[in-house]
């Protein structure tokens, strides 16, 4: 079982860590443009896209779970149908996002409480990067489908290509053409379309035979569509609440000034980096769980979950030690703003404990999605975010300012893990 988990997890981890590395490179590039407002602008603009794309993450997550179960049941016609249904939705959603970019920008950026300079940079970043939406969502679908088909190497290669392209193009646009914020965003746009092209190339090279299973009647199967939409709805609500909580966290940070917004934008990079590593094991555990559920093998299903959790626990300990040793030098890499670096040391202990308090929620996310127990995942998220995190954020911010905000975030992460643990046994029952 360890071999199966690592075979899927290691490529996923390599894929995932390239994503926050690009975000780190972007922040490092603008962090040397002379103003903390650039860091806050990119951090805030990035959070808007995390909010939007995480809300649409069901296109990847739902595709992975349903494809893995079809794979476990050797139903390749359904695997093909899941891919077509999801691709259709991804193109539709991407076009809608571009069409609605003005109202989305006004709602999520210009109406918020923050410095005019930082929010202006965030809007500039948003208005350029939004044109990557169809490609980004198409890549979501293909990566989710490849993983569901038990192939994690192709997503690793695709993500690596996207990330390297992004880093190189953003660097060229900023350092050579002096495009600043718009250069970072344009690098992301072009790299996403490069990634989509490679998705299609890999599909026709490795899975061309699946094309023979494409049947319009199967794609339009009402029962299958209803199931896909049900799973998608639950993941959408779950993802929107989760990312919305981080978006709200950044929005409240902006009210405390550019330096606090910059500090929190950098500190969240530590969480994203850890989350993307753990998500590699989350995807692996969820993919295997979905496969064994499809094959109706309760013993292997339970074993895959236990082994995945242990891997995540050990990794969280390693990250805690790593962050304790390297927090200060990593802040120095991300920005040369001396005031931001000096202030950040007051909040470093929050970074140190992030891995230990968050790994349970991250690993169980993948498991619940793999076995398509998404209604429970959704309900736990609704209770934790609406009843616990949001009230605590404003109460603790009032009494403890930024320290209070981080305490509220830590409580939310712990609460999610505990809530998912309580319903795990029932959710895994075949």
User: For residue 294, what are the contacts with CB-CB under 8 A and spacing of at least 6?
Assistant: 68, 69, 70, 71, 72, 73
**Mean pLDDT for all residues in the chain:** 83
The answer to whether 371 touches 293, Cβ cutoff 8 Å, is yes
Structure letter (DSSP) for residue 389: I
Give CA–CA dist 192/201, Å, rounded: 14
> Does 15 score more than 60 pLDDT?
yes
Residues above pLDDT 70, as percent of the chain: 87
Give CA–CA dist 305/228, Å, rounded: 23
**What is the dihedral sign for C-alpha 149, 152, 158, 159?**
positive
Which pLDDT value is given to residue 426? 87
Tokens matching residue 246 = 């981080």
pTM of structure:
0.72
Q: Is 115 helix (H, G, I), strand (E, B) or coil?
A: coil
User: For residue 52, what are the contacts with CB-CB under 8 A and spacing of at least 6?
Assistant: 97, 104
Structure letter (DSSP) for residue 176: I
Q: Where does 255-382 have alpha helices with state H? A: 258-294, 298-334, 338-344, 348-370, 374-382
297: left (phi over 0), alpha (psi -120 to 50) or beta: beta
- What count of other Cβ atoms lies within 10 Å of the Cβ of residue 257? 16
User: For residue 392, what are the contacts with CB-CB under 8 A and spacing of at least 6?
Assistant: 407, 408, 411, 412
pLDDT in tens, 361-398: 999 998 998 888 888 999 999 999 999 999 999 999 88
pLDDT in tens, 37-80: 777 777 777 777 877 777 787 788 778 878 888 887 777 777 88
Give CA–CA dist 392/381, Å, rounded: 15
Tokens matching residue 304 = 């895959």
Question: What average pLDDT score do residues 152-173 get?
Answer: 88
Which pLDDT value is given to residue 114? 62
Give CA–CA dist 340/209, Å, rounded: 54
User: For residue 208, what are the contacts with CB-CB under 8 A and spacing of at least 6?
Assistant: none
Structure letter (DSSP) for residue 255: T
Supply angle C-alpha 142, 143, 147, rounded to 5: 115
Identify the residue with better confidence: 340 or 264: 264
């Amino acid at each position: 079982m360890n071999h199966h988990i690592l075979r899927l997890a290691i490529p996923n981890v390599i894929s995932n860590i390239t994503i926050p590395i690009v975000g780190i490179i972007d922040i490092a590039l603008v962090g040397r443009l002379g103003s903390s407002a650039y860091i806050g602008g990119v951090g805030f603009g990035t959070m808007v896209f995390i909010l939007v794309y995480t809300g649409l993450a069901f296109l990847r997550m739902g595709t992975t779970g349903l494809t893995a179960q079809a794979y476990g049941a050797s139903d390749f016609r359904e695997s093909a149908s899941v891919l077509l249904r999801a691709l259709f939705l991804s193109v539709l959603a991407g076009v809608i996002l571009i069409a609605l970019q003005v109202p989305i920008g006004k709602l999520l950026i210009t109406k918020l409480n923050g410095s005019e300079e930082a929010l202006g940079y965030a809007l500039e970043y948003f208005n350029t990067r939004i044109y990557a939406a169809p490609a980004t969502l198409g890549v979501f679908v293909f990566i989710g489908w490849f993983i569901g088909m038990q192939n994690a190497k192709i997503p690793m290669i695709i993500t690596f290509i996207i990330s390297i392209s992004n880093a190189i193009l953003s660097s060229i646009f900023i350092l050579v053409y002096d495009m600043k914020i718009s250069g970072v965003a344009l690098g992301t746009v072009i790299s996403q379309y490069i990634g989509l092209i490679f998705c299609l190339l890999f599909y026709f090279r490795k899975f061309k035979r699946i094309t023979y299973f494409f049947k319009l009647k199967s794609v339009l199967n009402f029962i299958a569509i209803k199931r896909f939409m049900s799973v998608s709805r639950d993941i959408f609500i779950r993802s929107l609440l989760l990312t919305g909580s981080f978006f709200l966290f950044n929005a409240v940070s902006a009210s405390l000034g550019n330096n606090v917004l910059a500090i929190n934008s950098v500190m969240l990079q530590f969480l994203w980096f850890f989350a993307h590593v753990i998500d590699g094991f989350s995807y692996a555990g969820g993919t295997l769980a979905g496969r064994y559920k499809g094959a109706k093998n309760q013993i292997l299903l339970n074993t895959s979950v236990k082994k995945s959790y242990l891997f995540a626990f050990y990794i969280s300990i390693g990250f805690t030690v790593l962050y304790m040793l390297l927090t200060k030098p990593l802040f120095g890499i991300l920005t040369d703003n001396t005031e931001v670096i000096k202030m950040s040391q007051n909040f470093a202990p929050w970074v140190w404990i992030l891995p230990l308090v968050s790994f349970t929620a991250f690993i169980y996310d993948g498991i619940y999605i793999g076995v398509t127990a998404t209604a429970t995942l959704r309900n736990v998220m609704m209770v934790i975010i609406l009843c616990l995190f949001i009230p605590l954020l404003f109460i603790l911010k009032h009494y403890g300012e930024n320290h209070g905000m981080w305490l509220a975030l830590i409580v939310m992460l712990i609460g999610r893990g505990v809530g998912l643990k309580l319903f795990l046994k029932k959710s895994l029952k075949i």
